[in-house]
Structure 1
Amino acid sequence: MKLAIVRQTYNPNGGAERFVSRALNVLAQDRELDVTLIARQWENAAGWHTLTVNPPFRNRQAREAGFAQEAARHFSAFDLVQSHERIPGASVFRAGDGVHATWLEQYNRILSPLKRWAQSFSAYHRYILQAERDMFTHPALRNVICNSAMVRDDIARRFGLGPEKLTVIYNGVDTSVFHPSVRENNLRDTLGIPQNAPVLAYVGSGFTRKGVSVALNAVAAHPDVWLLIAGRDKQARKFIAQAERLGIAGRVKFLGPVDNILQVYGTADALILPTLYDPFPNVCVEALACGLPLMTSHQCGAAEWIKEGENGWVRDALDVAGYQQAISQWLAGRVAGQDYAANARRTAEPYTLERMASELQSLYRNLLGS
């Protein structure tokens, strides 16, 4: 079976790209699959073909439209095309980035009325919204892979797709690598963090969308809690200044992009991600597998896995008081001997890379068989 997987570019810190890399690595081992990646640029291939599609562009709307048009020219050469971009005509779409209309609704919550008005005239957002609608209503679309029930239900509601076209396949994780044993290799001595101090980690790029400001305000209410912030953001200085204003700069560590994310998980005791919108971040699966309970928002797909007070807490993305309360409960549980690490690990253990690959392969064969 000739399978094409479509994603524009590779970013080692991007969650969607990490999913594609993991999927490629496991699918390439299936001798019944002839896998080709269609991309502008990517990391070195190992076991699959790479078809480079890199038309010139002058702005981000032209970038999206140009890649979509050129990539679609090759779709007829494959038995199945699984796109991770909003390109009408693909047989399978993986909605790893969720629904753009929903993201705009959530993002508008933190914009001023003037910025909301200006955004409504954005040619880029109008293009993405139209491409999204054209893709979900295209006759060639046979299935949408959703990485959470939240995204599945949103697509069904907005675009009228039936359950036969919507499949939830959760992100897989290498549970032998992402494991509670990461605590043996941590950064506490390097960063000057006491070995017994409670440490929260935030992992992800896009600090505004993923709630760094809320995390800082939540930590400010707890003088013994440290916060690690791993990720890239063009406005990082703004958040560093916020930590200084709050008087917590001494116990907040901005790490920037981190090559070895396992050291961050090994240093932390829990993950905090008050994200405005995230279909299901890889970092949540990874952190849970490492034994870190999760504090996140209702608009994060990982909230589906959370049992309040056992393996995490779920609050509204902008509910600072709610996250302060969650941290209080977490601290009290630690004192009482609550085994959050074991609960978190049990949550992630079933979601292996092998399970993800098996579910993808089963979907492909069902589509070809039908």
Structure 2
Amino acid sequence: MMRLVIVRQKYNPAGGAERFVSRALSALSAQGGLEVNLIARKWESLSGVRAFAANPFYLGSVWRDWGFACAARRIWQREGFELVQSHERIAGCDIYRAGDGVHRHWLQLRRRVLSRWGRITLQLNPYHHYVQWMERRMFLHPRLKTVICNSQMVKREIQHYFDLPDERFAVIYNGVDTAAFHPSLREHRDAMRAQWQIPPAAPLLLYVGSGFERKGVARALQAIVPHPEVQLLIVGKDKHAAQYQRLAATLGIASRVRFAGAQNDVKPFYGMADAFILPTLYDPFPNVCVEALACGLPVFTTQQCGAAELIRDGDNGWVADALDGATLRQQLGQWLASRAEWPSLAAAARASTADLTLEQMAGRLLACYRRLL
């Protein structure tokens, strides 16, 4: 039996990367012929998975990541796993799952929205230097056999910065539970709208995610300003949420925006919405976009989002540059003007996830592992 270990430092079940790990672990274990293990600082209960704790003391982010990397490496060397798949930047793994993209590229995009002082602070931050150093060590390490990318966008970035050959890559999109995330969730529409005081017929955009700044909550707020009929519901936790509530008030749209905070179950929120919006500055492949599509919601996102590879403008969503607010507002106008076509948009959105089931994702991962042994 093949012994695989997946390495993920912070195992928060609500996080996008962790949901991928959880789904992959469950689906892979169900396939049989594979012993799945996990190395993490902490984890939730996982059926059929043996977990190893790598939780050394640390102060600060550099020490945190370096300490975990050293502890995780000691464990996988001691246990002698056939394959080591890391979701963290750790040199010496067999497989790296590039769920966070290329840090250097993210920093370049981040500079687009920072002030001069902000760019200086970013440049001087030692953590960013550490991540870039470790990223380079990992990608150029002789043991690295395969990089699993969750989008073609990420593959292109890695090849641009590190010049790895095509045969080192496997592009495997995140899978989604198409039975749980389904257009039938619209059965929650009336009750949820009543609960959140949203008019039954109002066009409702849904945003789901933490990290409001990077993922574009401000841009979503600004986009609905010229469309007075549109309501926006924001699901997710952010320590600066009050700042965005003040922005909504300043823009004169506070009555049309709801901040729902973190939610244990987001499915009823998908069921109450008409479309999904994620005007992110950078996101390799957010699970929320695939979940929304599976629920039959057209998706508004950006060229800097890996999930844009699933979107066909005007068919199952729209794509614009992350900082092109004018185009996003125009696209919302197109959507509103085509209300008679919304059922077709919903059907196309759902159809675009037909090849993205968890079972198909697990099969692709397993085929990737078998090629390496």
TM-score > 0.5, shorter chain as reference: yes
Counterparts in 2 of 1:1-370, with a 5 A limit?
A: 1-76=2-77, 77-186=80-189, 187-335=192-340, 339-368=344-373
Q: Which stretch of the first structure deviates more once superposed, 11-20 or 56-65? A: 11-20
Taking the aligned partners of 1:105 and 1:296, their CA distance within structure 2 comes to 19
Q: Contact 2:283–2:306 at 8 Å: present in 1 too?
A: yes
Describe the superposition over 1:58-80 as per-residue Cα deviations: whole angstroms up to 9, x where unpaired.
01111001000110112331000
SS at 1:29's partner residue?
helix
Q: Output the amino acid matched with 1:203.
A: V
The percentage of counterpart residues that share the same residue type is 54
Superposition deviation, residue 111 in structure 1 = 0.7
Measured after TM superposition, the shift of residue 102 of structure 1 is 1.0
Contact 1:38–1:52 (CA under 8 A) maintained in structure 2: yes
Letter in 1 for 2:75: H
Deviation of 1:322 (Å): 1.1
Shift, 1:277, TM fit: 0.4
Shift of 1:264: 1.0
Q: Hey, what's the Cα distance between the residues in 1 that align with 2:31 and 2:112?
A: 45
Aligned-partner SS, 1:299? coil
**Per-residue Cα deviation, 1:207-254 (whole angstroms, up to 9, x for no partner):** 000000000000111100000101111111100000011111111000
Q: Secondary structure at the match of 1:28?
A: helix
1:343-364 CA distance string (max 9 Å, x none): 1000112100000000000010
In the TM superposition, residue 337 of structure 1 has moved relative to its aligned partner by 5.5
How far residue 338 of structure 1 moved from its aligned partner, in angstroms, is 5.7
| Paired amino acid for 1:156 | Q
Tell me if the contact between 2:20 and 2:174 (Cα under 8 Å) persists in the aligned partners. yes
Q: Which runs of 4+ in 1 moved over 6 A?
A: none
Tell me by how many angstroms 1:30 deviates.
3.1
Task: Give distance in 1, aligned partners of 2:59 and 2:310.
Answer: 42
What are the ranges of 5 or more consecutive residues in structure 1 without an aligned counterpart? Answer: none
- Alpha-carbon distance between aligned partners in 2 of 1:88 and 1:296, rounded to the nearest angstrom: 33
Q: Does structure 1 conserve the Cα–Cα contact (< 8 Å) formed by 2:297 and 2:346?
A: yes
Instruction: Using the TM superposition, give the Cα deviation of residue 121 of structure 1 relative to its aligned residue in structure 2, in angstroms.
Output: 1.3
Give distance in 1, aligned partners of 2:279 and 2:71: 37
1:229 is paired with a residue whose SS is strand
**For the residues of structure 1 that align with 2:222 and 2:310, how far apart are their CA atoms?**
25
Q: 1:337 to 1:314 in 2, by over 3 A?
A: closer
Shift of 1:193: 1.0
What is the CA-CA distance between 1:336 and the residue it aligns to?
Answer: 5.0
The count of residues paired between Structure 1 and Structure 2 equals: 368
| 5+ residue gaps, structure 2 | none
Whole-Å separation in 1 of the counterparts to 2:199 and 2:193: 7
Distance 1:49 1:13 in 2: 21
In 2, distance between residues paired with 1:366 and 1:205? 36
Give the Å deviation of 1:115. Answer: 1.2
Q: Give the alignment's TM-score, normalised by structure 1.
A: 0.98
- Is the CA contact (8 Å cut-off) linking 1:202 and 1:271 kept in structure 2? yes
| Paired residue secondary structure (1:37) | strand
Cα contact 1:199–1:225 (8 A) shared by 2:
yes
What's the secondary structure of 1:75's corresponding residue? helix
